Amino acid sequence: MNIEQLKDMKNSEEYLLAVNVVSELEQVFDIEIPDSEVGYLAIHFSGKQFIEIKPGEENFVITSKIDGIVKHILSEVKSSYNIDFTNDFELRMSLALHLVPMDIRLKHDMFLRNPLLGEIKQRYTLAYMLATSACGVLKKHYKKDIYEDEISYIALHFNLALERNRSTIAKKNIVIVCATGRGSSSLLVYRFKEEVGAYLNRIEACDVGQLKYFDFDRVDYVITTVPIPFSVPKPILEVQFFLDEGDVKALKNFLSGKTTFSFSEKFDSRLFISHLSASTKEEVIRKMVDRIKEVKTIPNNFYDLVMKRESMAVTAFGNLVAIPHPCEVIGDETFVCIAILDEPIIWESVEVQFIFMMSMKKDRDENMEAFSTMISRLLLNPAYIQKMIQTRDYQTLANCFNQIEEEMRSE
């Protein structure tokens, strides 16, 4: 530590704490500790501080530099995942408060271990992916790689923001379709109000014949107790007339947005590469992009956008899995290309054999959270990945997702 750095530290609260600690150590061990060591100890205190603002204490001011980094982070997340946190003041503040000690750690190459790293990656995969994108901004700013432990701490802030969004339920308008008359439909409407009224704004009822002439602009969903033999422009959920516990749970998941996604819609069998021979991640990505071009309409710079993301943040998640993707949302659909390598390769110092390349659509995907939850359960479960590597079969993939969907419905 040079003299100027030491001078700057001497006025800080952490330096005074370090002086007291060093004084105790000198007395106990009968040694003399130089000022530079006091400075290094102060840096460690600064890098691990928890910032809590209390009434009556001196104002804590977030610098324009830190605020600018946070804004850049949220802009990057919006660009990459089409999830907009720019108006989430609580997230902005929590990230800024987190970055103050993190700024010190990065400047002085300090390592802060997170014992919950594995659990965070597995349970909060979407949040971890958002944090990985965020740390691409930090990597560029500090010109240093960001450890996974640091990424996982930032993931916790994003997960809290996602949880806040989940707890805010937008009430829905529905039409209930029955096969019988007004009396039975009125009974079903009453039961809906009783069981899931907190999720509903307006409930209408009709029979199948009336549904042909119904104004679907008035509702968000169609709930039916009978098959509907013609196409309707709204999502449909079939339930029994006498709602059982499973129906009520399915209704709550459906109305709260905890819906699953169409497997075939996002997983085109033509983009399932059961055998891929490659020796580097660049070769893998190039071959996968070439396959995507045969099936989907993608921009000419798709490969460059994926490689830009690779330069910004880690995409190897462990468990032999890598999740490369473009650094920005592109196109009109979300899709996935899967490749299983003939032999594992080293990908960012990690062994990888199962590659899950995805591209997100520009418009907001209402099923994004369900999608990310299901893929996280697939990709971070060693049993599923080993089964996929052994069978190399598209139907096995579909079966795994069906099993995951059943697990989620029973929770």
SS (H, E, C) the chain: CCHHHHHHHCCCHHHHHHHHHHHHHHHHHCCCCCHHHHHHHHHHHHHCCCCCCCCCCCCCCCCHHHHHHHHHHHHHHHHHHCCCCCCCHHHHHHHHHHHHHHHHHHHCCCCCCCCCHHHHHHHCHHHHHHHHHHHHHHHHHHCCCCCHHHHHHHHHHHHHHHHHHHHCCCCEEEEEEECCCHHHHHHHHHHHHHHHHHHEEEEEEEEHHHHCCCCHHHCCEEEECCCCCCCCCCCEEECCCCCCHHHHHHHHHHHCCCCCCCHHHHCCHHHEEEEECCCCHHHHHHHHHHHHHHHCCCCCCHHHHHHHHHHHCCCEEECCEECCCCCCCCCCCCEEEEEEEEEEEEECCEEEEEEEEEECCCCCCCCHHHHHHHHHHHHCCHHHHHHHHHHCCHHHHHHHHHHHHHHHHHC
Please report the pLDDT score of residue 380 as a whole number: 78
Please report the pLDDT score of residue 409 as a whole number: 61
Q: Where are the domains of the chain?
A: 3-47, 64-167, 172-255, 263-410
Q: Is the pLDDT of residue 210 over 90?
A: no
Of residues 317 and 151, the one with the higher pLDDT is 151
Q: Is the pLDDT of residue 258 over 70?
A: no
What is the arithmetic mean of pLDDT over 2-27?
63
CATH of 263-410, one of 3.40.720.10, 3.40.930.10, 3.40.50.300, 3.10.28.10: 3.40.930.10
The token duo for 90 is 């609580």
Please report the pLDDT score of residue 169 as a whole number: 62
Nearby residues of 243 by Cβ (< 8 Å), 6 or more positions away: 191, 195, 251
Q: Is the pLDDT of residue 156 over 70?
A: yes
Of residues 116 and 346, the one with the higher pLDDT is 346
Q: Is the pLDDT of residue 300 over 50?
A: yes
pLDDT band at 337 (very low <50, low <70, confident <90, very high): very high
Please report the pLDDT score of residue 50 as a whole number: 47
Q: How many CA atoms lie within 13 A of 322 on its CB side?
A: 29
Q: Is the pLDDT of residue 56 over 50?
A: no
Among residues 398, 321, 313, the alpha carbon closest in space to that of 81 is found at: 313
Q: Which CATH superfamily is domain 172-255 in?
A: Response regulator (3.40.50.2300)
Q: Do the Cβ atoms of 336 and 269 come closer than 8 Å?
A: no
Please report the pLDDT score of residue 53 as a whole number: 44
The token duo for 295 is 């099936």
Architecture of domain 64-167: Orthogonal Bundle (1.10)
> How many angstroms separate the CA atoms of 13 and 58, rounded?
12
Please report the pLDDT score of residue 51 as a whole number: 45
Mean pLDDT score across all residues of the chain: 80
* % residues pLDDT > 70 (the chain): 79
What is the arithmetic mean of pLDDT over 125-154?
88
pLDDT in tens, 215-228: 999 998 888 888 88
pTM above 0.85, yes or no: no
pLDDT band at 389 (very low <50, low <70, confident <90, very high): very high
- From the number of C-beta atoms within 10 Å of its C-beta (0-12, 13-18, 19+), residue 264 rates as exposed
> How many angstroms separate the CA atoms of 322 and 354, rounded?
7
Nearby residues of 295 by Cβ (< 8 Å), 6 or more positions away: 268, 270, 271
